[in-house]
Structure 1
Amino acid sequence: MNRFWVRLSLAFMALILFFFVVPVMVVALNTAGVLRNAPPELRPDTPPTLVQPGQPDGPPQRRLSRRFTLEAEAYRQAFRRAFLEGLPGFLTRTTLVAGILALALGIWLSRGLTEPLSRLEEGARAVASHNWAYRVPEEGPDEVAEVARAFNEMTATLQQSEMLRRQLLSDVAHELRTPLTVLQGNLRAMLDGVYPLEPAEIGRLYDQTRHLSRLVEDLHLLAQAEAQALPLARTSFDMREMVREVVELFRPLAEANDVRLLVETDDAPAPVYADRARIQQILNNFLSNALRHTPAGGRITVCERREGDRVRVEVQDTGEGIAPEHLPHVFERFYRADKARDREHGGTGLGLAIAKALAEAHGGGVWVASEGKGKGATFGFWLPLHTGDHTL
């Protein structure tokens, strides 16, 4: 039982005591006072008759009996008058005390309820004015404290979302600025006659426009996936076959870079119900990333295995590795541990973020592991297995 209901229960108990128990006690005390002043023959501990056994029932006894009856009736009337005369005053005093107590209790309870609510109101106004750092004290009754806790969690989420939004705008502006600056500079040089209008120069400008197109397409794809609005052409296929096909597509590129490309798959089929092109895009991103960071003479191993009700695919390389401080951020938009290297290779900085969004859109997930710089890295994703008409 929380503190609010304990306070309310105590208040009702106090009122019950004042309105029921105290009147009974006062009536008992008044009754005791009346009986204390009564003659012995009218007290409860005196026998009801003064006639002893064996005595004749003559006129003296009958007179004593009538006297007893009259005096008993007189004391009953006196007791009734005393009770009725004292009752209004008692009820007045009891009502006054109970009213004061109820007023004090109401003030105490209202302060316990209204103060946290007032703080929540102030917090809502602060958040409405874009003060995302505002937090309210998690105090008061359990229900109010729970609302305050939920409010703080909401503001923390809003603050994180606002920070990501600003970072995204900054990153997009930066990524767009670089190729646009190159385009403007080269076109200006051509107009001024500094650069000759040759196919080689036009080819470099065309590469920058392709980079811009990829960036816009990747941003659009990522926004759709994160909003769960990405159209998915789901079909049932064997993950083993798709992994082998993708590896064979990358084998010529790996051989050209003097990198050994190996593949390991389970013997048992691994059926999944997903958009094959999107899942292949995840594996393409991981393999491209591995080839980009694996030097000549290195090795890349693609593993596929079933684990319970899911299938895991991971890409292990013997390349540069990832420092521990970068691991929590590698799937963020535009995050680059080595910005210069990625721009040299034409990356948009969105490939891993897209892979994560696509895996989650299919009910799966991604992960990364590395023992540190120079010790290689492992990127992987998992999807739920599919049997018949249901996903496991």
Structure 2
Amino acid sequence: MKLIGLSRTIALTMAAMAFGITLLVVVTSYVFYFITFHFWQGSINEPNMFPSGLEWAWLVSTTLVGLAFAVIVGIHLARRILVPLNSVTESMRRVAQGDLDARATTGDRSLGEAAVLANDFNALADQLQRMSKEMTFWNAAIAHELRTPVTILRGRLQGLAEGVFPPEQPQFQSLLTQIDGMAQLIEDLRAVSLAESGHLNLEIKECDLSAEIESVVEFCKHALNASNHYPTLDLQSGTAYCDPFRIRQALLALLENARQHASPGTLIIQTRQNDGWCVLRVSDAGPGIPQEDAAHIFTAFRHARDAENGMPGDKRGSGLGLAVVAAIARAHRGEARCYPSDEGGSCFELRWPTPSQST
């Protein structure tokens, strides 16, 4: 239904009421004098300044009918206006008391501003409810991710304190590994939170993207080879405009994701610059991502399901890596996406505009 606006509805209603009362006076005056001159001709005095008693009766009755008509129209219009406004007021009170399921009734949708107010409140309540659920989910997910390393640290430190474990280098190296994992989790949480709030600051500058990619791959090669993943570089030479630190962080997250979840085999790392876009791709050999998981693969703490049995896949890692990639892409005014690769696996792509394209 087309919204005609509250002010226009009030104006049209007032005009219709004025026209109706005027028509009532004119029609009843003709009827009154017609009946009077034909049946009670002597009841009306000669023309003078004061109405006769019969004329007073007609004036009073016509006024009362007009007032009744105006009251009925006013009450009807007031109800149409107040239904959505009272509904919004009551819903706001319920939301303030913690009932995030409260929603306003739009009532008569032809009242434009009132209906829009109710709709906007409902949209605000929906967003508030989603944020509340996301906050609850994030709190539970963060607690879950921190629980394992903290438990391991506590157990190892307690064993060292009680002499159960010998104070040797492997023990301390294991503790450092757990601490490094927690530090990475904290940094990932920081990056995602800053991106969500729009405060992930970048230091955009001209850099040799190929050299940055090569340094990251060289740093990760030992860990990748240990899990039977073998990186292959297909890099396009040339400079790019980006934040090198954040791009390295995104590539590290993509390689770690491949190391944990991709089948053993070749990892193809590509860079391309065309049509005003810089593109970074990481393609694996499988097993691929189910279609139902592709929509939320870049959402924090969401894990894809195993392609064979439909159950949640390997849950090693925090579930933040791909969310960090998406956050860095958005901070560069670009996007991150995932689609099937030519090798039968998945291709994760990070793309962002060049300065000429962004302007």
Q: TM-score, normalised by structure 2?
A: 0.80
Overall identity of the aligned pairs, in %: 27
Alpha-carbon deviations, 1:315-358, whole Å to 9, x = none? 22222211222222221222233778453xxx332221111112
Match of 1:115 among 77, 83, 91: 83
The alpha carbon displacement at 1:119 in A equals: 1.4
**Separation in 1, partners of 2:31, 2:177:** 104
Residues 268-305 of structure 1, C-alpha deviations (whole Å, 9 max, x = no match): x7854x42321332233223323444444434242424
Displacement of 1:233 in angstroms is: 1.6
Equivalent of residue 380 in structure 1, options 341, 349, 355: 349
Give 2:309's aligned residue: none
CA distance, structure 2, for counterparts of residue 270 and residue 32 of structure 1: 97
Instruction: From 12, 15, 19, give the equivalent of 1:12.
Output: 15
Superposed CA deviations along residues 13-53 of structure 1, whole A, max 9, x for unmatched, are: 2322323x44444565677789999xxxxxxxxxxxxxxxx
What residue is the counterpart of 1:129 in the other structure?
97
Alignment-mate amino acid for residue 199 of structure 1: Q
Match of 2:300 among 328, 333, 339: 333
* Aligned counterparts, 1:1-392, within 5 A: 2=4, 5-6=8-9, 8-19=11-22, 21-25=23-27, 80-81=47-48, 84-85=51-52, 88-140=56-108, 141-235=111-205, 237=206, 241-243=208-210, 245-247=212-214, 249-250=216-217, 253=221, 256=225, 257=228, 259-263=230-234, 265=236, 272=241, 274-307=242-275, 309-337=276-304, 341-343=314-316, 347-370=317-340, 375-387=344-356, 391-392=358-359
1:383 to partner: Cα distance: 1.6
Aligned residues of 1:314 and 1:378 also touching (Cα < 8 A): yes
* Aligned length, in residue pairs: 339
**How far is 1:226 from its partner?**
1.8
- Change over 3 Å in CA distance of 1:167–1:87 after alignment to 2: same
Give, in whole Å, the separation in 2 of the partners of 1:96 and 1:31.
19
Shift of 1:208: 1.2
2:216/2:251 contact within 8 Å kept: no
The offset of 1:139, in angstroms, is: 1.9
Q: In structure 1, how many angstroms separate the alpha carbons of the residues matched to 2:37 and 2:327?
A: 90
Question: Is 2:24–2:66's contact at 8 Å kept on the other side of the alignment?
Answer: no
- Residues 10-19 or 147-156, more deviating: 10-19
Q: Report which of the two structures shows the higher radius of gyration computed on alpha carbons.
A: 1
CA contact 1:290–1:300 (8 Å) conserved in 2: no
Contact kept, 8 Å, 1:318 with 1:376, in 2: the verdict is yes
- CA shift digits 1:157-192 (9 cap, x unpaired): 111111111111111111111111111112222233
User: CA 1:30/1:294 → structure 2, altered by over 3 Å: closer, same or farther?
Assistant: closer
Unaligned runs of 5+ in 1: 38-76
Structure 2 CA distance, aligned partners of 1:30 and 1:160? 66
Equivalents in 2 of 1:263, 1:144: separation in Å? 59
Report the CA distance shift for 1:242/1:353 in structure 2 as closer, same or farther (over 3 A).
Answer: same
RMSD over equivalenced CA pairs, Å: 3.4
Query: What is residue 67 of structure 1 aligned with on the other side?
Result: none
Tell me how far apart the structure 2 counterparts of residues 139 and 310 of structure 1 sit (CA, whole Å): 48
TM superposition shift of 1:152? 1.4
Take 1:321 and 1:30, find their aligned partners in 2: how far apart are those partners? 89
Residues 208-236 of structure 1, C-alpha deviation per residue, up to 9 Å, x if partnerless?
A: 1222222222222222222122332222x
Cα distance between partner residues in 2 of 1:370 and 1:220: 30
Work out whether residues 123 and 135 of structure 1, in 8 Å CA contact, stay in contact via their aligned partners in 2: yes
3-state SS, counterpart of residue 295 of structure 2: helix
Residues of 1 paired with 2:46 and 2:240: CA distance? 94
Equivalent residue for 2:308? none
Contact persistence 2:261–2:314 (CA under 8 A) = no
- Within 2, Cα distance between the matches of 1:248 and 1:319? 25
Q: Give, in angstroms, the shift of residue 386 of structure 1.
A: 0.9
Maintained 8 Å contact 2:203/2:243: yes
Letter in 2 for 1:226: E
1: CA distance, partners of 2:234 / 2:150: 41
Between the aligned partners of 2:217 and 2:338, the Cα distance in structure 1 is: 21
> What is the deviation of 1:99?
0.8
Distance 1:108 1:9, change over 3 A: same
Structure 2: state its 5+ residue gaps: 306-311
1:236-262 deviations in Å (ceiling 9; x for gaps) = x36xx4146404641681884452514
Distance 1:96 1:209, change over 3 A: same
